[in-house]
Amino acid sequence: MTVRCDFLVIGGGIAGASAGYALAEHGSVIVLEREDQPGYHSTGRSAAQFTELYGNHVIRSLARISKPFLENPPEGFTDSKILTPRGALFIATEAQQPQLRAFAEFAAEEAVPVRELSRDEVCDMVPVMRPDAFRFGLHEPESTDMDVHALHGGFLRGLRERGGQVVTDAEVSILSRDADRWAVTTRDGAAYQAPIVVNAAGAWADMVAEMAGVRPVGLVPKRRTAMLFDPPADQNSGNWPLVIDMDEQWYFKPDAGKLLGSPADETPIEPCDVQPEELDIAIAVDRIERMTSLKVGRIDHRWSGLRTFAKDKTVVVGFAPDAAGFFWLAGQGGYGIETSPAMATATASLIVDGKLPDSFAELGLSPADIAPDRLLG
């Protein structure tokens, strides 16, 4: 038996879940997730931090549009806060001072509060920093931790409450256009039809497009590695900010009583169930220990996630120019969590109304800025 709906979303990560949530206000939605749980490859492995200073103009604008939702989600969306205070502390050597100053000027232009710190002020804030390893600091106090599980879970729960369905273990094996509808068959033989297919397949989005006979947009999945280790027993590390190198070569932050560290790697890789490389873990340990007095002993947990980018590091949101009813929602890179409310709104608006909401235009965003067409010239 073929199951029919108005909107068929391929991928149950933060992109697919949020899009399904938004579209469920306008019709019937089914989200197909290839794994046994949504958000397995990227969303569930993210150490998300909200900042309005990340990415290019499009990404920063999407973050700004998303912020009110993240600060005050709809009643019943989640039982816990999505954003909690953390702050971010950028560390610069003498050689990196021009970048730090330029970043401070950029923050001022974006009206995001930052404050340059002396070496002593940095060490007061994060006592494990080695005074001889850096020269300057820049503090962004309004950067926050994000509860990825609460956000993703809220979208999934809200989608179901609006009548939508999430089907797991539903890897798409056949995707073709049949008259005015897309026909989908999954590995287990289940069949679905919908006039609109939303390609929110993350690292697999180009592969889904090719399956449908749609031109791929050239997405590149990249591995990001992280680890959890014990903080010093004599330090109250829970109040530390995210500490990050000015060139984003390493970072660490408190996480549920531990410290989360990363070499901030972006290694191109084929879509897969990505696992951490020992070399990347060793690089992270070396970089963090060279800049701090931290001693990374036993690593409690190590993992990697996939962050998938378009060549211009801008999200891909819009109808494919070469296939009716095929909608791209991909290329979120490292900013898919913090921009998900805005991208869900954009998806529903473009599909239902054929345009972006006025709030996007007010920040200088147009459909062309995020459309797949820009990557197919």
154, 64: one domain: yes
More confident residue, 138 or 273: 138
pLDDT score for 42: 52
Going by pLDDT thresholds of 50, 70 and 90, the confidence category of residue 166 is very high
Are both 297 and 156 inside the same structural domain? Answer: no
Handedness of CA 161, 163, 169, 173 (dihedral sign): negative
* Tokens coding 98: 């021009």
pLDDT tens for each residue of 230-272? 999 999 999 999 999 999 999 999 998 999 999 999 999 999 8
My answer on whether 135 and 182 are in the same domain is no
Given pLDDT bands bounded at 50, 70 and 90, which one contains residue 377? confident
pLDDT digits (tens, 9 = 90+) for 54-82: 899 999 999 999 999 999 999 999 999 99
Contact (CB, 8 A) for 167 and 31: yes
Does residue 79 lie in a domain region?
no
Q: What is the pLDDT of residue 256?
A: 87
Select from 285, 308, 331 the last residue of a domain. Answer: 308
Asked if the structure places residue 108 within a domain, the reply is: yes
Strands 181-186 and 191-194: antiparallel
Secondary structure (DSSP) of 71-91: HSPPTTS-SS-SEEE--EEEE
Q: How remote is the C-alpha of 288 from its chain's centroid? A: 24
Token pair 């449908």 in the structure block, residue: 212
End position of a domain, from candidates 268, 286, 308: 308
Domain boundary, last residue among 308, 330, 351: 308
Residue 305, CA distances (Å) to 191, 280, 315, 340 in order: 30, 13, 18, 18
User: Do 98 and 190 have their domain in common?
Assistant: no
Burial of 289 (0-12, 13-18, 19+ CB in 10 A): middle
- Are 328 and 71 in contact by the 8 Å Cβ rule? The answer is no
Examine residue 81 and state whether it is found in any structural domain, yes or no: no
The verdict on 105 and 132 lying in the same domain is: yes
Structure tokens at 39: 């958000």
The rounded distance, in Å, linking the Cα atoms of 159 and 13 is 13
Please, how many CA atoms are within 13 Å of residue 264, restricted to the half-sphere of its CB?
14
Domain shared by 224 and 365, yes or no = no
- The residue-averaged pLDDT of 184-199 equals 97
Once rounded to an integer, what is the mean pLDDT over residues 335-360?
97
**H or E stretch covering 32:** strand 29-32
Task: For residue 83, tell me if it sits in a domain.
Answer: no
Q: What's the number of domains the chain is made of?
A: 2
Which CATH number covers residue 292?
Answer: 3.30.9.10
Answer yes or no: do 20 and 35 share one domain. Answer: yes
Residue 287 has pLDDT above 80, yes or no: yes
Do 164 and 238 lie in one domain? The reply is no
Tokens coding 132: 């001889």
Task: Decide if 293 is inside a domain.
Answer: yes
The amino acid present at 333, given as its one-letter code, is G
- Distance (Å, whole) CA 52 – CA 64: 7
For residue 63, which of 146, 1, 187 has the smallest C-alpha distance?
146
pLDDT at 37: 85
**CATH of residue 37:** 3.50.50.60
Does some domain include residue 370? yes
Residues 245 and 207 grouped into a single domain: no
> At a CB cut-off of 8 Å and minimum separation 6, what does 251 contact?
242, 243, 244, 245, 261, 262, 264
Same domain, 215 and 252: no
**Cα–Cα distance for residue pair 343/61, rounded to 1 Å:** 11
Whole-number Cα distances in Å, 244 to 3, 28, 31, 199: 48, 43, 36, 33
The reply to whether 247 and 119 lie within a common domain is: yes
Both 162 and 130 in one domain: the answer is: no
Q: List the domain range (segments joined by +) for residue 154.
A: 2-74+148-219+312-375
The model's confidence at residue 40, banded by pLDDT at 50, 70 and 90, is low
Looking at every residue in the chain, the average pLDDT score rounds to 95
Whether the per-residue pLDDT at 88 is higher than 70: the answer is yes
CA distance 22 to 15: 11
